[in-house]
Structure 1
Amino acid sequence: MEKKTYYVNIASQEISQIPFGNNASYTIQATDEQVFLLREKFNELHEDDFGTFVRSHIPFVQYHQDLENDEYDNDLKDVFQMLHQLATPETRQAMEESGIGIEKNQ
């Protein structure tokens, strides 16, 4: 399949073929299927985020003992790994220089 250039912003969970505003935090080269999988990961993050919001209103549950936060953290790591794999060389280098590379021992 043909790869196209996409611009990704994790904060807004935006994936676009058109660079606009702050959506170009990460530039990737991906097929339609890979973009679909990335979108699915963003959807999981959104669901996890809601779970962490609900959990935050339960004061006796510690962060380090909270399944919702663990799920969010794991899905966020998956997004960064996916971005690292699909990144343009410049984006991959910037990620690695910032310490956002792939974690070896998860």
Structure 2
Amino acid sequence: MNELKSYFVSVDFKEVREMSIPDNEIEFEIKATNEEVKELKELFRDTRKDGKNAIDHLGKPFDEWGADDERSKYDQHLIKIYKFIHGLGTPETKDKIEQLKLFK
């Protein structure tokens, strides 16, 4: 059964929780099925890999070859996550994400 439930997402911490943290300005409320939550968690796992590749280039001074590509892949992946959250988001969540002006 694919029942919609409320979840609270923190992109910064790459977490999906069933309970909100009071006074947390950086979380987004979504309505999602278990499958959609699994897909979001998978996107977060992929972000960790892209982020690690981007960070690896930071530790190599004067070696910018490929660094822009890695950072760009990481940025595009984050935008994909925000679009996914926007699609599942409550009206308030959609408004918060739209204010970030990450995509049209």
What is the TM-score when the length of structure 2 is the normalising length?
0.84
d(CA) in 2 for partners of 1:48, 1:60: 21
What is the TM-score when the length of structure 1 is the normalising length?
0.83
d(CA) in 1 for partners of 2:65, 2:28: 29
User: In the TM superposition, what is the alpha-carbon distance from 1:50 to its structure 2 partner?
Assistant: 1.0
Uncovered stretches (5+) of structure 1, i.e. residues with no partner: none
- The equivalent of 2:17 in structure 1 is 16
Uncovered stretches (5+) of structure 2, i.e. residues with no partner: none
| Runs ≥4 residues deviating over 3 A | 21-24, 61-65
Task: Work out which of the residue numbers 84, 87, 93 in structure 2 matches 1:85.
Answer: 87
Distance of aligned partners of 1:81 and 1:54 in 2 relative to their CA distance in 1, 3 Å threshold: same
User: In the TM superposition, what is the alpha-carbon distance from 1:79 to its structure 2 partner?
Assistant: 0.3
Identity of aligned residues (%): 29
- The equivalent of 1:71 in structure 2 is 73
Distance of aligned partners of 1:47 and 1:99 in 2 relative to their CA distance in 1, 3 Å threshold: same
Residues 57 and 67 in structure 2, CA contact (< 8 A), matched pair in contact too: no
